[in-house]
Amino acid sequence: MWYSTGLYLRTSLVYINDLPSCNLFSKPRMYADDTTLTSSAEDPFVLKHKTNHDMNLIQSWLTANKLTLNVKKTKYMLTGSKYKLSQIHNDFTVKVPNTPLDRVTKHKTVRVHIDESLNWHLHINVTSKKISAGLAILKRVSTTIPFDTRMNMYNALVMSYFNYCGTVWGNIGKGLSDKIPKLQNRAARILTFSNYETRSSILLDELSWESLENKRLKLLAMIMYKILNNLSPSYLRRIFINASNVHAHNLRNSEINCYVPNPRTE
């Protein structure tokens, strides 16, 4: 696995749309006042050079545009396998321009939690705690408010966490994926005053709720429909290759079959 860095910059909200024109090694991703730079290399020394080179360019660009980088809120994270990360020495530093940035092992970007191993344990655990906190509030007041009010509270405090970015983290393994449906079942029992002997499938039917897995599958299907019909952003369409362009022989329905390039994991 390659080493890669993620730089999380905090800049001013406006006047940054042309920041990618700095001829950076890294790939910038901008959302409101948060900018993320990602870069990769097989050699930590090369990665360190790329990252510091880009930070110097960004600092010069900000100065020329009379903007300021919030160095205290700017962090960097190294991602890779445990073995690769163990080979990183303390001399790997990122500076702006002479001030060392803090290295972090986890970070939240647009409400999605990622860590240096790029697994979803952190995000699922954080999400589960937030859902549990909302359910605790709902349970505390559920006996004193009508059903419609309970549903409004559920929609406001809990439901958004079930749905948010499910197409991104939805491919988690069974051990992690079981945590979220259990919380949905707990929510159904609170709303209907049911005990744990009642089957969860009966409660979901009573509330006209879909399973979270089905919801994620529908969202994925909608995204793929947009990709196949050129209705999605170009960066999503570039992920997939038409199967007819990969295989020399004709495939049945190849016009709607997508080939996903294998990830490089070694």
- Which tens digit of pLDDT belongs to each residue from 188-245? 999 999 998 899 999 999 999 998 889 989 998 999 899 888 898 888 888 887 766 5
For 142-156, write each residue's pLDDT tens digit.
Answer: 999 999 999 999 999
pLDDT at 97: 81
More confident residue, 26 or 18: 26
pLDDT score recorded for residue 133: 95
Q: What is the mean pLDDT of residues 60-84?
A: 87
Task: Check if the beta carbon of residue 173 is closer than 8 Å to that of residue 187.
Answer: no
Q: Does 86 or 129 have the greater pLDDT score?
A: 129
Which of the pair, 55 or 172, is modelled with greater confidence?
Answer: 55
- Is pLDDT above 80 for 45? yes
* 36/75 Cα distance (integer angstroms): 10
Q: What is the pLDDT of residue 207?
A: 94
Per-residue pLDDT at 150: 94
The structure's pTM equals: 0.81
Q: Average per-residue pLDDT in the chain?
A: 84
CB 137 within 8 A of CB 81: no
Residue 53, pLDDT score: 93
pLDDT of the residue at 66: 84
pLDDT digits (tens, 9 = 90+) for 93-111: 999 888 999 999 999 888 8
% of the chain with per-residue pLDDT over 70: 86
Q: Which is it for strands 27-31 and 34-41: parallel, antiparallel or unpaired?
A: antiparallel
Q: What is the pLDDT of residue 1?
A: 35
* Distances in whole angstroms, Cα of residue 95 to Cα of each of 3, 30, 103, 150, 174: 18, 21, 11, 51, 41
Q: Which residue has the higher pLDDT, 66 or 222?
A: 222
User: How confident is the model over 41-68, as a mean pLDDT?
Assistant: 89
- Tell me the pLDDT tens digit for each residue of 237-260: 888 877 665 555 454 544 557 777
